[in-house]
Amino acid sequence: MSSTVLLKKDLVPNEVPDLEEILSQSRKEAQGLSVGTTLFMKEYGVRSEAEYKMKMAKKGKVMHHAHIGWNSWEETAKGFRYIYEELKKRDVVLDRFGVALDWVMGVPEQYRDKVMKGGSLIFETPEEWAAVGQVVPIQPHFGDHMIGSLNSTENVKLALNAGVTCMGNIAQYYTYEYPGVPISKEDRVINMCTAIGIMGLFRDQGAVIHSNLDDGFGAMFHDLANMTGWAMMERYLVEELLGGRLSHCFGNLFSDPILRIIFLMVNNAINKYQTPGSMMYGNTIDFSSDYDRNYGALCSFVLADSCAELLFPSGHAVTPIPITEAIRIPSADEIIQVHVTANMLEHKAHYYKAFLDVEKLKAQRDILLQGGKVFFERLMNGLDDIGVDTKNPCEMFLALKAMGPARMEELYGAGKEDPRAMRGHIPIKPTDIVANIGKRRDEICDSIDNLANSLTGVNAVVGATDVHEFGKEIVKAVLQEAGATVFDLGANVTPDEVVDTVVETGSHFILMSTFNGIALTYGKTLLKDLKEKGLGDTTIIMGGLLNENMKGESLPVNVDKELTELGIICSASADELVDIIKDHM
């Protein structure tokens, strides 16, 4: 793509079906399909989770969501039962389980031998799909590798049959890739749009499409006003074109508790069809290996989210994050622990809510809404100007993904233009991720003696094996402050991409962040590929969640020892990276 001229052929190089062809295919796929009934629906006398949420919101009840991430159906079902029974003993109601599905689930069955298994759940049989809502009266939610993956349509049909009425994740279409699977980007988007169309056909039965803004391009915008406009764009594509009903999730990358409340208000304001929310996810960027500090972060966002739902009920479930999640997959007891804590915080939120300055919150909401509208309209007009059919969802999805959030902000950002600002615009309201990266970078840099120019002449390749880029961005910022030349490969980086970049740039250091349960396999593959190119002396540093799914284990296990034995350096903190690199220069 040209750096100065935006052309349709660069964004949408091939023909794709129009809207009516997609909707016709959706109707065909939906023939004979019905929504199953879960134990949750029977328990509460509802036909869908959406119906339940609307009832609870009217009653002023705050709902709760737990993220479950075990790697077999047997362990998952066992965990469902144990968590439900233990919480019931303590008079704590859990409304929904978010089942963490492995990325293999986003790949059609005939191609699954081409991808490495991660550390999350893979349904092996139709019976396992069908059983997910029949274990306990807590509603299952599928947020990963469903709509937006390579297997969107098949997954939607299986999930609806199982009684799962809220599923995602539209945002992952933009940021999750499946290397090695021979499916074109056009076929992927056609399959996804067909799945959205199917969900639209079942909207009156409570089918809701989930999109976690912090899993997709939303996490990559620098300006929260532009992120608001992006949420408007996703609603336009899903609701106005394809007839679905969309729920936006957010929170992973929102550290400021008051900003969480404001952004919920923003979501309510753009929610034309008053679709119940899926969940507000917990703030994960403040979590670290310091469990005591994690408790503070937990309480700050759960209290804010509870107040938000009491004041501005939207149906979003509050999601307390187990304090161990930054280090490893939490146990059932750790999930129980934070839900008991959240239950107490909800009770206390009733005292806080009356003293929040609602008018001040509304004023901040309106600033974001105004900026969001500017960004949305500029983006729509820009695409129309170059010939993208803004009534064709396939063309729109392809064009937006090809453009990327950085280019969108540069061309259409709502903030005041300033050539000295990142992406050429001063943010109306910087996102927490941008503010936190800058703050953390400054803290680390201030703690390192004689940092300036200490890595001048060093070439380093950085990347993430998955969509989680927060740690990578901090590493990149610190290395650049030290004078290193950094080649940033972004997210979802494959080992061969890393090796190719090492060859092209003459880099001697590789720094990879990983959170998707493939650390050891990735490290071994990277080492093998480097040695084949005669680059075995390249220094590899890995950080993040260094674990892997091991045979005979119900949870992914830490693999620091195994990686170290291979000669890979395991780092838990960006503070130490400059010294590590100096020691290996």
Can you give the pLDDT at residue 40?
A: 99
- 97 φ/ψ angles, rounded to the nearest 5 degrees: -105, 130
CB 138 within 8 A of CB 366: no
User: pTM of the predicted model, to two decimals?
Assistant: 0.84
Which one, of 371, 372, 436, 17, lies nearest residue 190 by Cα? 17
In this prediction, residues 237-263 reach a mean pLDDT of 98
Q: Alpha helices, DSSP H only, in 285-331?
A: 291-311
- 121 φ/ψ angles, rounded to the nearest 5 degrees: -75, 135
Lowest mean pLDDT among 52-56, 68-72, 232-236, 426-430: 68-72
- Integer distance in angstroms from the first to the last C-alpha of the chain? 36
Which element (helix H / strand E) includes 543? Answer: strand 539-544
Residue with the larger pLDDT of the pair 135 and 329:
135
Can you give the pLDDT at residue 178?
A: 92
Side-chain-side CA neighbours of residue 205 (13 Å): 16
Q: Where are the beta strands (DSSP E) in 100-184?
A: 139-142, 166-168
Give the percent of the chain with pLDDT over 90.
Answer: 83
Which one, of 471, 465, 572, 574, lies nearest residue 524 by Cα? 465
Lowest mean pLDDT among 146-160, 162-176, 435-449, 544-558: 544-558
In this prediction, residues 559-574 reach a mean pLDDT of 94
d(CA 307, CA 259): 12
Residues 6 or more apart whose CB falls under 8 angstroms from that of 277 comprise: 53, 247, 248, 249, 267, 314, 315, 316, 317
Lowest mean pLDDT among 26-30, 293-297, 441-445, 502-506: 441-445
Query: DSSP letters of 162-185?
Result: TT--EEE-TTHHHH---TT----H
Is the confidence at residue 529, as pLDDT, over 50?
A: yes
Can you give the pLDDT at residue 523?
A: 96
In this prediction, residues 227-252 reach a mean pLDDT of 99
d(CA 483, CA 459): 10
Can you give the pLDDT at residue 1?
A: 39
Query: In the structure, what pLDDT confidence band is assigned to residue 434 with cuts at 50, 70 and 90?
Result: confident
Is the confidence at residue 508, as pLDDT, over 60?
A: yes
Can you give the pLDDT at residue 287?
A: 92
d(CA 312, CA 268): 8
Which one, of 202, 166, 155, lies nearest residue 34 by Cα? 202
Is the confidence at residue 555, as pLDDT, over 70?
A: no
d(CA 77, CA 409): 44
In the structure encoding, which two tokens stand for residue 341, read together? 């804590």
Give the percent of the chain with pLDDT over 70.
Answer: 98
Q: Cα dihedral angle (227, 228, 231, 233), rounded to 10 degrees?
A: -90
Give residue 50's Cα distance to chain centre: 22
Is the confidence at residue 96, as pLDDT, over 70?
A: yes
Which one, of 136, 193, 190, lies nearest residue 170 by Cα? 193
Residue with the larger pLDDT of the pair 420 and 98:
98
Query: In the structure, what pLDDT confidence band is assigned to residue 181 with cuts at 50, 70 and 90?
Result: very high
Residue with the larger pLDDT of the pair 506 and 556:
506
Query: In the structure, what pLDDT confidence band is assigned to residue 4 with cuts at 50, 70 and 90?
Result: low
- Does residue 63 sit in helix, strand or coil? coil
Q: Which residues of 181-217 are buried (b: 16+ CB within 10 A; e: fewer)?
A: beeebbebbbbbbbbbbbbbbbbeebbbbbbbbbbbb
d(CA 300, CA 305): 9
Can you give the pLDDT at residue 3?
A: 47
Structural domains in the chain plus CATH codes: 55-330 (3.20.20.240), 360-426 (no CATH), 432-583 (3.40.50.280)
Q: Which amino acid does the sequence have at 540?
A: I
382, exposed or middle or buried, with CB in 10 Å at 0-12, 13-18, 19+?
middle
Which one, of 176, 143, 174, 178, lies nearest residue 159 by Cα? 143
- Does residue 250 sit in helix, strand or coil? strand
Give residue 483's Cα distance to chain centre: 31
Sheet with 539-544: list strands edge to edge: 485-488, 459-464, 509-514, 539-544, 569-570
- Does residue 421 sit in helix, strand or coil? coil
Can you give the pLDDT at residue 450?
A: 87
Task: Please provide the average confidence, as pLDDT, over all residues in the chain.
Answer: 94
Is the confidence at residue 65, as pLDDT, over 60?
A: yes
Can you give the pLDDT at residue 554?
A: 63
Can you give the pLDDT at residue 2?
A: 38
Q: At what angle do helices 519-532 and 495-505 cross, to 10 degrees?
A: 40
CB 166 within 8 A of CB 49: yes
Count of C-beta atoms within a 10 Å radius of residue 581: 22
Residue with the larger pLDDT of the pair 538 and 288:
538
Can you give the pLDDT at residue 552?
A: 63
- Does residue 256 sit in helix, strand or coil? coil
d(CA 475, CA 486): 10
Residue with the larger pLDDT of the pair 470 and 135:
135
